[in-house]
Amino acid sequence: MVSIIDPFLKEKAFEVLPAPNLAGAKYSLAVPAFVADAGLKDFADIARFRKELDGKIFAIEPGNDGNALIQKMIDANQFGLEGFRMVESSEAGMLVEVQRAVDRHKFIVFLGWEPHPMNEKFKLAYLSGGDRVFGPNYGGAAVYTVVANGYLQRCPNVGALIRNLPRGFSPPDAIAAAVSAMLRGLPGKLTIRVRPAIPDTPRERIPIGVCLSASARIASANPGASRSIK
């Protein structure tokens, strides 16, 4: 991802907050847990299950850097993957295929990453042995928040919310899942524990709906209290 964002950073097209949301994020090939339990746990195992996988590795939209890494791996016959076909579609399209495979208890290997709601929705296992392709620690990376220039000054309350989001894996996955459900009009509730460092602000002065362009409601603005976005 660094090579993609670098030109924009040099042009100062947006602002990257200095503190990472989390470290140790994953970006690599993944399988449903039952597939790993059947023996497909490592990149070196993929070719052995060619028949069960129908010779396919599922990815997201064309032009994505993860897709390029997968195709390069196939072209170089790494791990004996010559003859495999990468299926490109979109994030949503790929996850539909994962859901279908899970429902039918069929084998599938696909491009996965964490944090993402997929880690809440499915029981997944990330394949080991892919350091030469995606990097060490399952394509380990740090995740940073990117905002438009001047956004934190225009919307200081949203800035306080962003800076105080909980760190770690499960909270970002849960937040992403809840926000995704909210934007699709599905029922859902997200509760965030706010750090006491945030100054007390009357509810009526928090323009969260304006700044996020979404229907949001702050249940309580007291420091240390839980805030709910529905």
Residues 114-158: pLDDT tens digits?
Answer: 989 999 999 999 999 999 999 999 998 887 888 899 998 999 998
- Note the Cα 31 to chain centre separation in Å: 15
Please tell me which residue, 185 or 93, carries the higher pLDDT value. Answer: 93
Is residue 192 over pLDDT 50? no
pLDDT (average), residues 80-88:
98
Which residues neighbour 87 within 8 Å (Cβ) at sequence distance 6 or greater? 56, 57, 58, 59, 94, 97
Share of the chain above pLDDT 70, in %: 70
pLDDT at 179: 59
Q: How high is the pLDDT of residue 206?
A: 39
| pLDDT over threshold 60, residue 27 | yes
What distance in Å separates the CA atoms of residue 18 and residue 135, rounded to the nearest whole number? Answer: 23
Over range 99-111, report the average pLDDT: 98
pLDDT at 229: 35
167 pLDDT band (50/70/90 cuts)? low
What pLDDT, on a 0 to 100 scale, did the predictor assign at position 10? 86
The residue type at 132: R
Over residues 181-210, the mean pLDDT reads 48
Check pLDDT > 70 for residue 178: no
Kindly tell me if the per-residue pLDDT of 162 is higher than 90.
no
In the chain the beta strands, taken as DSSP E runs, fall at 15-16, 22-32, 56-58, 85-87, 110-114, 124-126, 141-143, 146-147, 190-193, 226-229
85: helix, strand or coil: strand
Place of tokens 């603005």: 221
Give the range among 37-46, 114-123, 182-191, 215-224 with minimum mean pLDDT. Answer: 215-224
| 8 Å CB contact between 103 and 34 | no
Residue 27 phi/psi, 5-degree rounding, is -155, 95
More confident position, 144 or 214: 144
> For 85-114, what is the mean pLDDT?
97
Residue (of 82, 117, 98) closest to 35 by Cα position: 98
State the pLDDT at residue 213.
Answer: 38
Exposure class string for 147-171: b at 16+ Cβ within 10 A, else e: beeebbeebebbbbbeebbeeeeeb
Q: How many CB atoms lie within 10 A of CB 99?
A: 14
Over residues 104-109, the mean pLDDT reads 98
pLDDT at position 166 over 70: no
How far apart (Å, rounded) are the C-alpha atoms in residues 52 and 31? 13
